[in-house]
Amino acid sequence: MEIYWLLGIPLTGGIFLALWGCRKHSPEINALFSLLTLLAAALLTHRIIEDGPMTVGGGWFFIDSFNVFLVALTAFVAFTTALFSRPYMRIEAEHGKLNDKRLRLYHSSYQIFIAAMLLALTTNNMGILWVAMEAATLATVLLVSLYRTPASLEAAWKYFILCGVGIALALFGTILLYFAAEKVLGSGGTALLWTHLDGVKTELEPTVLSLAFVFLLVGYGTKVGLAPLHSWLPDAHAEGPTPVSAVLSGLLLNVALYAVMRSKVLVDGALGTDMAGNLMMGFGLLSVVLAAFLIKRQTDVKRMFAYSSIEHMGLITFAFGMGGAVANFAGLLHMTMHSLTKSAIFFAVGHATQKAGTQLMGGIRGLIKTNPTIGWGLMLGTVAILGVPPFGVFASEFLIITTAMHDHPWATPFLLLALGVAFASIFGKVQPMVFGETESAKLPYQPALAPVFLHLGLVLMLGLFIPPYLAAWYRQAAQLLGG
């Protein structure tokens, strides 16, 4: 039952906000719907804690410990982002960047986007998963181009074309999957149900599945932002409204990676080799290194953190590629930490840029004087995302790096190099933004920073203490992913 609430609420929210138009309180309503979604997610999570994994809706939806925490995470970040965007978008409108039509578009497609992602997470059907991913893409394309500036249009166009092509390839992969499954499960609807596929994964035809995995990896990998398929990502993050950047980085990438992982499980089962794992490790390392060196030359703050998202997604992919209980655990942990931290950073960055009137880091100075909360938020967020304890990102990086050193020592020099370069670049650019003198005046309005510190608080908490049931989820999920 909760599942229908979970999917229904944001969908109706989207439709409602589209019809109701941009009135005075539509931001609040947006937040409200997100809150309801969060509640639904909480109920669902509760159910799963109670009864364990289950298929609902006549086998159309399948919830296990792997996707339930992603669902919870998605709903949560979606809610906090809605909270953040409430004052943020208002001010954008006051600055004349947006008119009511656009705000309306923003709110409705925001909800649709959330709905699509939740569908992608919960569905049991690899085909529907694809459909949902495509839908999410379409929704975000509109969000990215919201400002209608040449740059945003260009970004949106690239986003659309590249991800469209990628997703098309993923469809081809899905077809091949179906093709292989059909042999075993017979044609008809059930052959794409993940639960069924998982049951018979060892009987699936290896050659077909390896081929399918290539298409799926390249397809969904484009959305994950794995190098060299990442080109759309920095543009989309930099040019879209900040809340959108937050959810893109924090959620969409995770969902795409979720799709990859679901197919990896099947392929591993079918092949019995770690070909899939090796591919992912390769992509992961490449992304980490390339992103690190690209971060080094950024001048636009949002673009820089977009590249940092690529870096972290690469790290997660690498972890999943290594496989094994610890690495998978670390990967899942890192997914969570990255979503929370990165969205928090984008919140802080959003206010900072809004205040400075520019996204160029050269134009943002001495935040700690003009607005200490933003300053500390950005500083702590940066420190956290760079993997400095006691923040949780370190916990996962700790596990990943030590495991890599133990199982795949050859990879560690690259990691060492990349993490060092990334640290130097990001911190070297953020420090003068936060510290130092500035002549710009104090912030005229009260920023919504509760989300920032909420997220950072959670990350800090998880770095020092992971609640048992959460840990249990991670463990089960790691098992699921072939730990």
Partner 1 sequence: MTNGLSSYFTDPVQWAWAGVLFWLTLGFAALLLQQVPQLLSRLVFPLGALGALFIAGVGVAGLLLPASAVVLPIGLPDLPFHLRLDALSAFFMVLLGGAAFGITVYASGYFKSMAAGPLALLALWYHLFLGGMVTVLLANDAYAFMVAWEVMALSSYFLVTTDHKVPEIRRAGFLYLLIAHVGAISLLLTFGVLQGGHGDYTFDTMRLAEMTPFWASAAYLLALFGFGAKAGMVPLHVWLPEAHPAAPSPVSALMSGVMLKTAIYGLLRVTFDLLNIQIGWWGTLALALGLVTALYGVIFAAVQSDMKRLLAWSSIENIGILLAAFGLTLIFTTDGKGALAALTLTALLYHALNHAFFKGLLFVGTGSVLHATGVRHMGHMGGLMRFMPWTAWLTLIGALAIAGLPPLNGFVSEWLLLQAFLQTPGLTQPYLNMVIPVAAATVALAAALAAYVMVKFFGVIFLGQPRDPALHEAHEAGWPERLGMLWLAAGCVLLGLFPAQVISWLAPVVSLLTEQSLVNDGNWLMLAPVSAERASYAPLIFFAVVAAVLLLTFVWVRRVYHGRVRRSDPWDCGYPEHDARMQDSAEGFGQPIRQIFEVFMRVERETPDPFSRSPHYHGASLDKAWFIFYAPIARVANWLSEQAGRLQHGRIQWYLIYSFATLIFLLVFTTR
Partner 2 sequence: MSLTYHLQIVNLLAALLLLISFAMLSQRRIAGLITLFAWQGAALAASTALVAWSTGQHHLYYSAALTLVLKVIAMPWYFFRVVKKLNVDRDVEPMINIPTTMLIGIVLVIFAFNLALPISELSGTVTRSTLGIALATVLLAFLMMITRSKAIPQVIGFLAMENGLFFAATSATYGMPLVVELGVALDVMVGVFVLSIFFFQIRETFDSLDLKHMEKLREK
Structure-block tokens of residue 291: 């992103």
Question: Per-residue string for binding with partner 1, 396-415, x by CB under 8 A?
Answer: -xxx-xxxxxx-----x--x
Using rule CB under 8 A, residue 169 touches partner 1: yes
Residues of span 298-327 touching partner 2 by CB under 8 A: 299
Residues of span 236-275 touching partner 2 by CB under 8 A: 238-239
Residues of span 356-385 touching partner 2 by CB under 8 A: none
Contact between residue 411 and residue 280 where contact means Cβ atoms under 8 Å apart? no
Determine the interface stretch with partner 1 among 79-87, 124-132, 311-319, 320-328 (rule: CB under 8 A): 320-328
H or E stretch covering 24: none
Taking the C-alpha atoms of residue 362 and residue 375, their distance in angstroms, rounded to an integer, is 15
CB of 478 to partner 1, least distance (A): 11
Cis check: omega of the bond before 390, within 30 degrees of 0 = yes
Tokens 């990967």 map to which residue? 331
CB of 254 to partner 1, least distance (A): 21
Handedness of CA 291, 292, 297, 301 (dihedral sign): positive
230-259 burial, b at 16+ Cβ within 10 Å, e below that, comes to bebbbbbbbbbbbbbbbbbbbbbbbbbbbb
471 binds, among partner 1, partner 2, none (CB under 5 to 8 A by kind): partner 1
Contact between residue 90 and residue 448 where contact means Cβ atoms under 8 Å apart? no
Residues of span 105-164 touching partner 2 by CB under 8 A: 125, 127-128, 130-131, 134-135, 138, 141-142, 145, 148-151, 153-158, 160-161, 164
Taking the C-alpha atoms of residue 61 and residue 124, their distance in angstroms, rounded to an integer, is 5
Taking the C-alpha atoms of residue 266 and residue 261, their distance in angstroms, rounded to an integer, is 9
Three-state secondary structure call for residue 360: strand
**What is the DSSP-derived secondary structure letter of residue 225?**
T
Determine the interface stretch with partner 1 among 35-43, 100-108, 115-123, 460-468 (rule: CB under 8 A): 460-468
187 binds, among partner 1, partner 2, none (CB under 5 to 8 A by kind): partner 2
Taking the C-alpha atoms of residue 32 and residue 433, their distance in angstroms, rounded to an integer, is 34
Using rule CB under 8 A, residue 480 touches partner 1: no
Question: Per-residue string for binding with partner 2, 278-297, x by CB under 8 A?
Answer: ----------------x--x
Question: Per-residue string for binding with partner 2, 166-185, x by CB under 8 A?
Answer: --xx-xx-xxx-xx--xx--
Taking the C-alpha atoms of residue 115 and residue 98, their distance in angstroms, rounded to an integer, is 24
Q: Which is nearer to partner 2, 179 or 398 (CB)?
A: 179
Question: Per-residue string for binding with partner 1, 204-223, x by CB under 8 A?
Answer: ---x--xx-xxx-xx---x-
Contacts with partner 1 by CB under 8 A: the residue count is: 72
CB of 178 to partner 2, least distance (A): 6
Among 7, 386, 458, 481, binds partner 1 (CB under 8 A): 386
CB of 227 to partner 2, least distance (A): 14
428 binds, among partner 1, partner 2, none (CB under 5 to 8 A by kind): partner 1
Burial of 193 (0-12, 13-18, 19+ CB in 10 A): buried
Q: Which is nearer to partner 2, 133 or 246 (CB)?
A: 133
Using rule CB under 8 A, residue 52 touches partner 1: no
Among 161, 189, 203, 450, binds partner 1 (CB under 8 A): 161
Alpha helices in 296-388 (DSSP H): 301-322, 325-356, 367-370, 372-385
Q: Which is nearer to partner 1, 91 or 325 (CB)?
A: 325
Handedness of CA 121, 122, 123, 128 (dihedral sign): negative
Among 191, 335, 378, 379, binds partner 2 (CB under 8 A): 191
CB < 8 Å & 24+ apart, contacts of 21-25: 21/100, 21/104, 22/100, 22/101, 22/103, 22/104, 22/107
Using rule CB under 8 A, residue 348 touches partner 2: no
463 binds, among partner 1, partner 2, none (CB under 5 to 8 A by kind): partner 1
- Which amino acid appears at position 39 of this protein? L
Determine the interface stretch with partner 1 among 7-15, 60-68, 319-327, 346-354 (rule: CB under 8 A): 319-327
Q: How many CB atoms lie within 10 A of CB 354?
A: 21
Among 424, 448, 454, 460, binds partner 1 (CB under 8 A): 424
CB of 151 to partner 2, least distance (A): 6
Taking the C-alpha atoms of residue 78 and residue 221, their distance in angstroms, rounded to an integer, is 22
Among 195, 435, 440, 448, binds partner 1 (CB under 8 A): 435
Using rule CB under 8 A, residue 397 touches partner 2: no
Among 43, 388, 443, 460, binds partner 1 (CB under 8 A): 388
Taking the C-alpha atoms of residue 21 and residue 203, their distance in angstroms, rounded to an integer, is 52
Burial of 417 (0-12, 13-18, 19+ CB in 10 A): middle
Beta strand extents in 14-154 (DSSP E only): 54-56, 61-63
Distance, CA of 140 to chain centre: 13
Using rule CB under 8 A, residue 304 touches partner 1: no
Residues binding partner 2 (CB under 8 A):
125, 127-128, 130-131, 134-135, 138, 141-142, 145, 148-151, 153-158, 160-161, 164-165, 168-169, 171-172, 174-176, 178-179, 182-183, 187-189, 191-192, 205, 207-208, 211, 234-235, 238-239, 294, 297, 299
